[in-house]
Every structure is written in structure tokens, then in C-alpha cells.
Structure 1
Amino acid sequence: MSKLTRRTALFASVALVSAPALAQPKRGARAEKVARKGKDADPTGSPADTPLGPVDTTARWAYAMDYNTGATLLDKQGDDEMPPSSMTKLMTLYIVYSRLKEGRLKLDDELPVSEKAWRMQGSKMFVQVGTSVRVEDLIRGVVVDSGNDAAIVLAEAIGGSEEQFVEIMNATAKKLGLTHSYFKNCTGWPDPEHHMSCHDIAVLAAAIIREFPMYYHYDSEKTFKYNGIEQQNRNPMVQKGTADGLKTGHTEAGGYGVVASSLRNGRRVILVLNGMATNRERSEDSERLMDWCFFNFEDVTLFAAGDVVDRVPVWLGADSTVPLVAGKDLVVTMPRNWRQKASIKISYDAPITAPVMKGDQVGKLVVSGDGVPNLSAPLFAAEDVARLGLPGRAIAVLSKYVTGT
């Protein structure tokens, strides 16, 4: 039997669920699908879904998430497979940073430039064939210059060839749970089978920030000069100082795209947009939507790890009640008007029967409300409650039989 006990609606939260995962078609069908989306997907003027209702964006694909809680703030075909262009290089950087953190690569290591890297077209760092380039310079060449040539130098050094490095990319994508990503190269060069989703890109960006804070500072560099050539960071929000990373991209099939992260008053938001018609649209939409995410939502600590959420009755226990705790800080993202619209309940099976062990999950916190997507979080026993001895159990059973309570 399930019982709900209502607490005063002092707290509430947002736990936004991403769009359902798409069925995985065969590789040939997937390639056709990705190529088709560049022309036949929803019009760029259609709005994105948010907990507060539709929000306009010129992006064909869009996704925004709160970094601290993982809450989805904005979603427009966020799990659709799309051409990610140079946003692909985030995976290349993730693998480079992993090797650096493991000590298998050093910032001062010098890597050889192959003819393939030197001849690579598109955005370039302008490395020279037959020379060697420091890893740190190559990282800047990828982050600031979006250099395809720099990405290939790194890929060949780590994987032995770009093709073998791509195998590492796909294995890493599985490890990170990127279910709508498949790589064919390390640069984002157009390929009908090469795709990511906005949601996957946001998850990857969050992983870079979380796991490699010692290298994330490269993302905020506005210029980088190599071989006498100075280039500006292509990320418009980094240039304006409204974001501290991460990457832009552009191809004919994918349009103009950006993944940006901004930290304001201790709260970080990651925004991914793709499929815009012009660089101006990318710049204007990314800044407007980032501001919207910060203005309309806030992170709230409902309960700290040791806070007693409630005390619930225990049947046949040495103690009549057991305190419930969240087990960890329960921080959630909520619309700023949550106090007027949210309610909170404690749900548990009644009666909770002794014995109860500290750490047992015995209930859950349930949050709901108009404009507040549903959330449930587990609650745990904060103390042991032993089972009554035989005489005590007999008295309790008799009392229940006589009084009905």
C-alpha cells in the first residue's frame, strides 16, 4: 500500500527529461537521414521546447542544460543526429586531455606534421610539413583557430593514423553515453555518416569542463599567434566575454553552429545551437538564449546531505519513527517563480516494517506543479531501527487489533 504525506510547499525543483532516444537505423539509412536533415528538418523559425513554454530560435537544432544539475532548459530536436562540423573537435580535445592527465602525453611534447595534416583544407593553424609542433600550441590551434591541420597532427600522434584515432573517438563516445554520435574523422569534415546530436555535444562539453579544468582555460583565449599568423577565437560569445568556451562550427549541411558555456554567480549553463543560416544569427541567438537560461532559472538546494527531510512511522520497531535524508546535497534547477507553483511530497510504503538499516532507501521526494516538471529523488534511512522483541511485537499487534491504529 502506498502512502503520500504532504509537506509545506517550501521547496521545489525542475528535473527535465530529454526527448526520447531515436531508434537506431541501419548505417545506410542513418547516413541518408543525416544528409536529408540539412534541407528537410523543421523550419529554422520554429520554437524550442522549454519548461516555460515555446521559445523562438533560428537554430534548426538546439539544446541547453544546467551544468550543476543536468536539467534540460531548452530542447529543439536535441537528440536528432546532425552534421556537427568543427564541434566534433571537442571529442578530439577530450582524448588529448585524457592522455595529458594520464601522463601519456605532455604539453611540451613536439609532434611531427605529416603531409596529410599540412594539406588539410578548411580552417587551419598553418602548420608546416616536416616540422614538429608543441602539444600546447596544437591545443590552442584547435581551440582558438579551429585548425583541421592541428587536429590531424594530434590524432596521428595518439592513434598512429586518423583512422585509428577515430576508433578511439567512437569507443570514447560509448563510454560517455553519447548515444547519437558516430565519428568518421577528427575534424568534423563533411561525411554523410559522421554525426552528433546537440544533447551529446552538451554532455561532452560538460565532461571536458568537469574532468579537465586544468586545460579548460585555453577555451577563453581570444587570440592565438603561430608562425607569424594571429587568429581570433571563432566563438562570438568568447570574444564578447559572455562565455568562457567552447567551440563553433560551420558546414554547408550543418549550417552555423556553436557550443558555449557560461559561468555566472556560481551557476554554469551549456548551450548548443546548430543549423543557423549566418554567423550573425549564431552570434545573436547564442547570446540571447544564454541570457534567457540564466534569467528564467535558478539552482536551489532543497536539502543538504544530512538534513532530515521528514520522520516516518516504523511498524514493530524499537523506535516509532525513522528520519529520512537525501543522502547527498539535493540541488535542482527551477523556474524563478517556483515558490508560487510548486509542491513537494514524501512518498513511502506504509507501514515501513522494522528492522530498518541506516542507508536503506525507504522513500522518495516527489516534486510537481504548474510549469515545474516532475522530479523524484530517493530518500534514505538516517538511522538503524531494530525490530521489537517478541513481547513488544505482541503488544503492538494487540494494540493495532484493538484500536485499529
Structure 2
Amino acid sequence: MQTLRRLALAFFAAALVLSGPAAAQSLETSARQALLVDLSTDTELLSVNPDQRMYPASMTKLMTAYLVFERLQNGTLSLDDAFTVSEKAWRKGGSKMFVEVGDRVKVEDLLRGIIIQSGNDATIVVAEGISGSEEAFAREMTAKAREIGMENTQFRNASGWPDPQHYTTARDLAILAESLIERFPEYYHLYSQTEYTYHEITQQNRNPLLYRNVGADGLKTGYTEESGYGLVASAAREDRRLLMVVNGLDSARERAQEAERLIDWGFREFGAYDLFQAGEVVDEIPTWLGQRGVVPVIIDRDVSVTLRRNVRDDMTVTLITDRPLAAPIEAGQTVGEVRVEAPGLKPVSAPVKAAQSIEKLGTFGRVQAALEYLIFGESR
């Protein structure tokens, strides 16, 4: 049975019908650092200096909120808990929630102040309330960064206030944002709220993509003179989600325009395609000295790829395995792999496993099989 071959040919045929004009082979961006990822397949669509050290500015607040979400989720903190505003928090400059010294502010309000209003004062209230001091909280932020795979990040404060030892990379911010989206779906909706009022002061969410029809639902802007204008953003259309990090842009207007352009480009020029479903039989492989002449092999996880729409017909799907497979063979035994390759795509592979057990032939059967091979040149 040539299931794998038929599947690949059918996919190529569909690609030939669906493909439009050839897409551009590259895209330039004015951002100093940029990373665009299709989260549905964990594929990088655009990468510009993703591991270059940069200042995160208020994008830092993603980790501040992350630590609050974590405590809410494990029950050590509740939205109704309240923290007292210190003079340090009240005096903090930059963007503010406008809390007052001595006030006790609920965690729920502080989260909105951090996420929607980008309040530096709110981050200090949270940091001091959780860890006793902002410095101790920043150490916890850095430890959490290491835990989730952010290898090139160090936090010195909870707000993103300029500090030469407070840095990250575009890749690390993407890791943080993806983890936040996946781990805390019950709180992620806060990032899509466009305004919040506290002490009768209404402030708009600074994320420009929330006001443009691109499917955006988060996450956070950042700006300091040293960092330039930055944005960590996510947008969903149908069953795809793109995650973007840009930084080092020259103005808020350029940030908005470039972010929209990159998100639109990612959805327009690339498509995510499902190739195999977990448990699907991909082929039948001949056996050697087995009680059955073939064994069906299956893939045990879904396999999807994101490709430029104009290279779908250049994709190759290859089953790599020994032929024939020597018996005995146990159900679930890994017997090879499927490899997917295409221009511009890092090869994707997934193991294939025997769908059933195949016992070895008895002595008489092995002799007969050997004779058949000698006479006919065929293996059984």
C-alpha cells in the first residue's frame, strides 16, 4: 500500500491548484530586532537579530504579570487580595496607574493597571507586596526567566525602568509571551482590553494592533530612549496564532505601521498545513520472516508545517525505515521516521511505529521463506 505516496501527491496537487502568484523571498524591517513565529507549528517566519541583547522597557511587565498569574493559579494569591502602596511606588515616574500612598489596592486592579495602563507604580506595589522589595522580586523574575528557557535575560526591576543590567532578547520575549499565553488562558483576556479607569482616570491600552483589524489580542508595548519603540504582540486568525516581537523602532507611529505590516505579511504569505493525524497509518512495510508479510506503521502525533504558500509543491514527504523489517516486531516499536522538507523550512521529522505485533515464523516457515527468496528473489 502506498498511502504515504498518495497523501503526498494529493497534497502537491492541491497546492498547485491553490497557489497564487509567487511571494517575495524575503522581507525587510526597520526594527533593530524582530521575530515572527507561527505558534501553531512553532515556525519562525521572520528573524532579525533575535538573540541580540536589547532593553525591554515596559515589555518587562509581561514577566511581572506572569509571576502574579502563577500565584493566582496555584492559590497563594487571589484577585481580591490587596497590597499597600508605598511612597516609592507613588513617586515612581513614567507611565502611571495613579495609585495613592497608603491605599490598599486589589490585585485585580493592579493587574489591569500593569497590563492596560502600563503603570510603573502598579508594578512596584505588586513587587513589594509579593516579595517584600522590588529588588527581591526582580531576582525572582530572573529565576523564572531561566526556568522557562529565557537564557539571555536579566531583570533588575519590575517595570522596565532603564538599567544597563536589565536586558533581554527578542527570542526570550517570544518564549515568555508564548508561555504566558499557553499557561494562563484564564487571565490572557486582560491583554485585549482597550481601556481601564482607576481613580476616575481612564487610560487606553497602548498596544496599537488592538485598534486595527488584524486579529490582535495582546500583549505589551515598550519604550525608553535607550530601547526605542517595541512591541510584543499576538494575533489569531481561524486556527493560526502568530507571535511577534519588534524593538528599536523610531516612533510610536512606525511601531504601529510596522507591526501591522509584519502580522499581515505572516498570515498572507504563509499557510499552516496539517499532514498527518496521530494514529494515522502512513504506509505498510514488508517484513522479513514475519507471520504477516507486511506491518502497518503509524505516526503517534499530529504533524503540521507552516510554509510559504508558493513552495507547497516543492515539499517532499519521505518515510525512512528499513525494508524489510525483521520479525519479531512489537506493536508500538519505533521502526523509522517521516521527514518533511521544503525550501525555507527546517526539516520536520516524527517517528513512525508498528501498529501491530508481528511474530517470527517458525522453523518450517523460515526455511520456506528462505527458499522463496533464493528462487524468486522475494522476501516474506
Structure 2 residue identity aligned to 1:169: M
Shift of 1:248: 0.3
- Label 1:238 to 1:363 Cα distance change in 2 as closer, same or farther (>3 A): same
Deviations 1:138-174 (A, max 9, x none): 1111111111111111122222222222222122112
Task: Give the Cα separation in 1 of the matches to 2:366 and 2:86.
Answer: 80
Shift of 1:388: 2.4
Q: Is the 8 A contact 2:45 2:266 kept in 1?
A: yes
* 1:77 pairs with 2:77: no
Structure 2 residue identity aligned to 1:247: K
Shift of 1:372: 4.2
Structure 1 residue identity aligned to 2:106: R
Q: The residue matched to 1:215 in structure 2 has which SS?
A: helix
Shift of 1:6: 6.0
Task: Give the Cα separation in 2 of the matches to 1:52 and 1:181.
Answer: 33
| 2:124 aligned partner | 152
Shift of 1:176: 1.1
| 1:259 aligned partner | 232
- The one of 267, 272, 284 equivalent to 2:245 is 272
* 1:386 pairs with 2:359: yes
- Label 1:167 to 1:395 Cα distance change in 2 as closer, same or farther (>3 A): farther
- Label 1:300 to 1:119 Cα distance change in 2 as closer, same or farther (>3 A): same
| 1:335 aligned partner | 308
Q: Which runs of 5+ in 2 are unaligned?
A: 13-22
| 1:110 aligned partner | 82
- The one of 214, 217, 223 equivalent to 1:250 is 223
| 2:336 aligned partner | 363
- The one of 178, 188, 193 equivalent to 2:165 is 193
* 1:344 pairs with 2:300: no
Q: Is the 8 A contact 1:11 1:344 kept in 2?
A: no
Task: Give the Cα separation in 2 of the matches to 1:148 and 1:388.
Answer: 74
| 2:29 aligned partner | 57
Which has the greater radius of gyration? 2
Structure 2 residue identity aligned to 1:109: D
Shift of 1:200: 1.6
Q: The residue matched to 1:244 in structure 2 has which SS?
A: strand
Task: Give the Cα separation in 2 of the matches to 1:392 and 1:191.
Answer: 77
Alignment of 1:123-142 (within 5 A): 123-142=95-114
Structure 2 residue identity aligned to 1:175: E
Shift of 1:356: 2.1
* 1:176 pairs with 2:163: no
Shift of 1:124: 1.1
- Label 1:218 to 1:116 Cα distance change in 2 as closer, same or farther (>3 A): same
**TM-score (norm: length of structure 1):** 0.85
Which of 1 and 2 has higher RCO (CA within 8 Å, sep 6+)?
1
| 1:326 aligned partner | 299
Q: The residue matched to 2:185 in structure 1 has which SS?
A: coil
- Label 1:201 to 1:379 Cα distance change in 2 as closer, same or farther (>3 A): same
Shift of 1:108: 1.1
Structure 1 residue identity aligned to 2:326: T
Shift of 1:69: 1.4
My pick for the range that moved more, 364-373 or 169-178, is 364-373
Task: Give the Cα separation in 2 of the matches to 1:290 and 1:357.
Answer: 47
Deviations 1:166-212 (A, max 9, x none): 22212211221112222222211112222211112112111111111
| 1:223 aligned partner | 195
Structure 2 residue identity aligned to 1:99: R
Q: The residue matched to 2:338 in structure 1 has which SS?
A: strand
Task: Give the Cα separation in 1 of the matches to 2:51 and 2:363.
Answer: 57
Task: Give the Cα separation in 1 of the matches to 2:237 and 2:92.
Answer: 38
Q: Is the 8 A contact 1:10 1:343 kept in 2?
A: no
* 1:204 pairs with 2:179: no
Task: Give the Cα separation in 1 of the matches to 2:230 and 2:28.
Answer: 16
Task: Give the Cα separation in 1 of the matches to 2:155 and 2:370.
Answer: 64
Q: The residue matched to 1:247 in structure 2 has which SS?
A: strand
Q: Is the 8 A contact 2:234 2:243 kept in 1?
A: yes
My pick for the range that moved more, 350-359 or 106-115, is 350-359
Q: The residue matched to 1:337 in structure 2 has which SS?
A: helix
| 1:28 aligned partner | none
Q: Is the 8 A contact 2:312 2:342 kept in 1?
A: no
Q: Is the 8 A contact 2:299 2:351 kept in 1?
A: yes
Q: Post-superposition, which runs of at least 4 consecutive aligned residues in structure 1 deviate over 6 A?
A: none
Structure 1 residue identity aligned to 2:169: S
| 2:17 aligned partner | none
Computed over aligned residues only, the root mean square deviation of the Cα atoms, in angstroms, reads 1.9
Shift of 1:341: 1.8
Deviations 1:44-100 (A, max 9, x none): xxxxxxx96320211000001112211111100112221111111111111111111
Task: Give the Cα separation in 1 of the matches to 2:134 and 2:153.
Answer: 17
**TM-score (norm: length of structure 2):** 0.90
Task: Give the Cα separation in 2 of the matches to 1:197 and 1:320.
Answer: 54
